[in-house]
Structure formats: structure tokens, C-alpha cells
Amino acid sequence: MSHEIRLVTETELRKVVSLDLEVIDCIEDGFRSLADGTVVMPPVLSMALPQINAEVDVKTAYVPGLDGFALKVSPGFFNNPALGIPSLNGLMVLLSARTGLVEAVYLDNGYLTDIRTAAAGAVAARHLAPENTKTIGILGTGVQARLQLIAATLVRPVEEALIWGRDAEKADRLASDLRAELGIDVQACPDRSELVGRSQLVITTTPAKEPVLNADWLHPGLHITAMGSDQEDKNELDPRILGKADLFACDRAAQCEILGELRSALNSGDLEDIGNVVEIGDIISGRKPGRRSEAELTVCDLTGTGVQDTAIATLTLAKVRDADTGTIVTT
């Protein structure tokens, strides 16, 4: 038996897949499927390698109706920066949902993950941030700080952004880059309380293990998306924030309970149980309301799901085929 497999490198992928409304809609469709109960998404396979300061996560999800499903390998090797190599890389494999045969291998070094993660932020903003969000505050200065802001500007009429980072110089540099890239007013803001006070949408994008956002800084009409925590020891939000929120949404409750902000709020007792937690897919499908007034305080906890990988991997196959990019190998 021989069949064709399309291999696509990061460079090739960057030319055909970018952070735009098509990707955001695709990820939104993925969350809608996740909420309708037909998706099969096993728990993340997580291999911790503390002896070499590394971890490897594997995610997958089968979405009925899609021609393929993704299997994603995300290694995080945190000694890499000393070698001049990014900590996060990896690849994505797309398998046929009909035969299980490998259809495509995306040697993306994490690029598709970056895009689908930012797109999830835009989906959260679309359903939960005030319609008239003019100012966005970003905590963090990494890849997602940049991409989350870009994604939010695609779904809200953003005029201004404020960026905070532990390293003030990095915050300045990112603000300057994004000012040029987006043509809006972007400033570094060393005072987090001020940043939150001036924003209608705050996005936390840090690898923090202690909260970076304090519950005393909140105001009515604020939406917070916390997307940094994806491990059992990470925590960006003061757990009291989850207790105070009028609406607490997440990508996948069963996963956020282990890997997300939900975990610390359940541990601290700020949330009693997950009974009132709403999955973003239920909001998208209309089964549950999203933001109900301009005065509500809403929070969304994103840990990253295999459904997003399957969604973007499937869209990517269509795009690389259209562009006839990548290398076809017969095996």
C-alpha cells in the first residue's frame, strides 16, 4: 500500500496561514462542535521531564464532520533559550478521519498552535468583551501578547492598547512594534492597576505561577481572558476574581479544572463547584448567554484544546492544497 503525504514547513505555512477572520471563525466552529457533545477529545498526554527542565504535551480531538483529525506534539524545553533556540516547538500531524492514514505533517515549530491560541482569544473577545471595547490591556510580552492583541483588533473597534511586562524594556519594545504594526496607540504601562482600570478587555498571557491580576483592580464592564495557564502549577488570576465574576467561561471545564484558572479558584474555595462554569462553545451555539449587559464582569479561562488543533489543521490542509505548497512524499 502506498499513499501520499503532504509535508509543510514552518516557512511554507507562514505564507498561507495567518491570523485572520477565517481562522477565528474556524476555531469558533471547533468550539461549537466541542460543546455539542459529539467531539471525542481525550485528556492531554503530558510528559513532565523535570530532570532536563522540559515537558511534552500531546493533544488530539476527533470532530465528526471534519475529514481529518490532528495529533499535536508540543515540546517545551526551557533550557533552550540559553542555546539560542525557542523553548516551544513541535509539529502537527493530520490524519484522515476515514482511514487513519497520515495526510499531512506540519513541521510548524508551534506556529499553528500560536495562531489557533490567539484565535481562541478573539472568539472569547467576540462573545464576552463589551461591544465597544476601545482599550485593551495586555499582561505579558511574549508571542501571545502580540498575537492576542492583533486577534482582538479583528473583532473589536480597538483604538488603544496598554502593555505590562515584568521586564519594562520588553514591554516598551513590544508596544513600539505593535504601534507600527497595528497603527493604533500602544503604550507600555508599568502600573497594572491603572492598566486594568483603563481597559474594557484585559488579556493575561504570562507563564505566571502566582497571580499577576489582583481582584481589587476590577471594575464593572470588564472582560478578562486568561490564556497563560496550561499546566497544573500555573496561575495568572487572583482566584477571588472568579468568585466575583458575573460570568465565568472557559474552553473546556474538565480541562480547566486541572490546568487552568478554574483549578486555583476551586482550591481556594472562591468557586464552590464547576456547576456555573460555561463553556465557550455553549455561548457560541446560543445554548447559554454570553455577556448580558455592558456592566457585567466576565472572565474566560483558555487552556488550549485538541479541537482547536484539529480545526486549524483541517483548514490548513485546504489552504496548502489551494496554494499547492509543501512537499508530497509517497510512502
- The site for its own copies (CB under 8 A) is made up of 1-2, 5, 7, 9-11, 40, 42-43, 45-49, 51-52, 54, 56, 58, 60, 62, 64, 71, 73, 75-77, 80, 83-86, 89-91, 93, 95, 97-102, 105, 107-109, 327, 329-331
Q: Which is nearer to its own copies, 295 or 329 (CB)?
A: 329
Q: Which residues contact 323 (CB under 8 A, 6 or more apart)?
A: 15, 16
Helix (H) or strand (E) holding 57: strand 54-61
Q: Which is nearer to its own copies, 76 or 211 (CB)?
A: 76
Cell of 100: 487513519
Distance in angstroms (rounded) separating the CA atoms of residues 81 and 10: 19
Instruction: Give me the least distance between CB of 71 and its own copies, in Å please.
Output: 5
Instruction: Give me the least distance between CB of 95 and its own copies, in Å please.
Output: 6
Q: Which is nearer to its own copies, 56 or 258 (CB)?
A: 56
Q: Which is nearer to its own copies, 28 or 108 (CB)?
A: 108
Instruction: Give me the least distance between CB of 96 and its own copies, in Å please.
Output: 8
* Burial class of residue 228, CB neighbours in 10 A (0-12, 13-18, 19+): buried
Instruction: Give me the least distance between CB of 176 and its own copies, in Å please.
Output: 23
In the DSSP assignment, the letter for residue 43 is: P
Q: Which is nearer to its own copies, 56 or 253 (CB)?
A: 56
Specify the amino acid at residue 311. A
CA angle 119, 148, 13 (to 5 degrees): 55
Q: Which is nearer to its own copies, 61 or 118 (CB)?
A: 61
Q: Which is nearer to its own copies, 46 or 268 (CB)?
A: 46
Instruction: Give me the least distance between CB of 35 and its own copies, in Å please.
Output: 18
Specify the amino acid at residue 105. V
* Burial class of residue 98, CB neighbours in 10 A (0-12, 13-18, 19+): exposed
Q: Which is nearer to its own copies, 101 or 295 (CB)?
A: 101
Strand, coil or helix: 147: helix
Question: What is the tally of helices (H) and strands (E) in the chain?
Answer: 11, 15
Q: What is the layout of strands, in order, in the sheet containing 54-61?
A: 45-49, 54-61, 68-77, 91-96, 102-107, 4-9, 327-330
Decide: 2 and 329 in contact? Cβ < 8 Å.
no
Instruction: Give me the least distance between CB of 258 and its own copies, in Å please.
Output: 15
Instruction: Give me the least distance between CB of 59 and its own copies, in Å please.
Output: 9
Distance in angstroms (rounded) separating the CA atoms of residues 265 and 96: 39
Q: Which is nearer to its own copies, 71 or 129 (CB)?
A: 71
Distance in angstroms (rounded) separating the CA atoms of residues 65 and 233: 35
Distance in angstroms (rounded) separating the CA atoms of residues 126 and 201: 11
Instruction: Give me the least distance between CB of 292 and its own copies, in Å please.
Output: 36
Instruction: Give me the least distance between CB of 62 and its own copies, in Å please.
Output: 6
Cell of 96: 484522515
Decide: 235 and 213 in contact? Cβ < 8 Å.
no
